[in-house]
């Protein structure tokens, strides 16, 4: 009987292997092969092809603009991530208490920005920020105020990269948190109310602990996405003023066909991959996810 059971279990294994073969083949062609080639080239001289060890990594790390871009993206992605998580969590709590029909309409409206690409979103904001005749400039003129160059003056370049990035991610992440709130058993809140717990106490001791896995998911996704920030700074500030909003991806793209060795640019891209992996690892370590169980 045991032999027959195993025979039945593995009878169609070759069919399963054939079904996953196309996906595996595409991964090999478009992911693993370019990755291996990039790793190999990062240790070679761009001109002669000779082995140079860590020369390309030292070269890119000695570039002050690249180092500045790391600081820029860390600050902007941290602020954006905190804004998305906090505002998304608060708004998700509002959605839970809305009328079902109203809630459905609101969920569709807040999700729409997520469907737009970074380029389209940047164009929308550029129409508002344009120094010559944007919406905000027109409003300032109406009140007799001078125009502001939002792409170059003071902290405005940072603000107008963070706001579009937050706007794009707000709807999707709010809906993820909304789904998490719906999965918390109502019996927890009923028991807490019977014990005299107020709204803030229920939030701290019931809602937030049961949402921990969702927070981990959002932190991982937002951190990885933030560190790869590219379209919004490219379109709104072009990395200016004086590289104050340049991000690592923008730096690497701008220099890939420039004066810098291509193998050094590949080394920088690999370092960014390692940085993203390490940040995600630390997020998992700091915020341990656990499976919630009903008591």
At 10-62, the pLDDT tens digits run 666 788 888 899 999 999 999 899 999 999 999 999 888 899 889 999 999 99
Beta-carbon contacts of 239 under 8 Å, excluding residues fewer than 6 positions away, are 69, 233, 245, 246, 247, 250, 251, 254
Q: Buried b / exposed e across 193-212, counting CB within 10 Å, b at 16+?
A: eeeebeeeebeeebbeebbe
Residues 282 and 148 in one domain: yes
pLDDT score of 10? 60
Give the number of domains in the chain. 2
Residue 292 lies in a domain: no
Tokens for 169, please give them.
């991610």
Residue 184 to residues 47, 92, 127, 207, 214: CA-CA distances in angstroms? 59, 13, 42, 7, 12
Given a cut of 70, the residues of the chain with pLDDT beneath it are 1-12, 132, 287-295
The Cα–Cα gap between 224 and 278 comes to 10
Residues 125 and 37 in one domain: no
Residues 36 and 94 grouped into a single domain: no
d(CA 137, CA 147): 5
Please compute, for residue 228, the number of CA atoms within 13 A of its CA located in the half-sphere on the CB side.
13
Query: Are both 176 and 282 inside the same structural domain?
Result: yes
How many CB atoms sit inside 10 A of residue 223's CB? 19
Domain extent at residue 169 = 57-286
Per-residue model confidence (pLDDT) at position 224: 87
Q: What is the DSSP letter of 259?
A: S
This prediction has a pTM of 0.84
The pLDDT of residue 68: 94
């Amino acid at each position: 009987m045991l032999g027959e059971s195993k025979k039945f279990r593995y009878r169609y294994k070759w069919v399963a292997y054939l079904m996953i073969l196309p996906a595996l083949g595409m991964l090999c062609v478009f992911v693993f092969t370019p990755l291996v080639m990039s790793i190999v080239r990062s240790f070679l001289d761009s001109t002669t092809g000779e082995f140079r060890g860590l020369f390309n990594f030292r070269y890119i790390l000695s570039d002050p603009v690249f180092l500045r871009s790391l600081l820029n993206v860390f600050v902007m992605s941290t602020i954006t991530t905190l804004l998305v998580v906090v505002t998304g969590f608060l708004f998700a709590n509002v959605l839970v208490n809305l009328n079902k029909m109203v809630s459905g309409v609101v969920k569709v409206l807040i999700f729409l920005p997520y469907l737009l690409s970074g380029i389209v979103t940047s164009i929308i904001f550029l129409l508002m920020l344009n120094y010559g005749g944007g919406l905000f400039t027109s409003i300032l003129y109406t009140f007799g105020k001078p125009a502001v160059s939002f792409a170059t003056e003071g902290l405005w370049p940072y603000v107008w990269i963070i706001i579009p990035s937050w706007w794009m991610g707000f709807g999707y992440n709010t809906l993820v948190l909304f789904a998490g709130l719906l999965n918390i058993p109502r019996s927890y809140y009923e028991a807490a109310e019977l014990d005299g717990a107020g709204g803030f106490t229920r939030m701290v001791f019931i809602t937030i602990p049961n949402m921990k896995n969702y927070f981990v998911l959002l932190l991982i996704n937002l951190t990885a996405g933030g560190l790869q920030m590219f379209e919004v700074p490219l379109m709104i500030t072009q990395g200016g003023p004086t590289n104050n909003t340049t991000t690592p991806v923008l730096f690497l793209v701008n220099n890939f066909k420039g004066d810098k060795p291509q193998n050094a640019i590949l080394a920088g891209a690999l370092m960014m991959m390692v940085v993203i992996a390490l940040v995600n690892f630390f997020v998992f370590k700091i915020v341990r996810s656990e499976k919630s169980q009903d008591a």
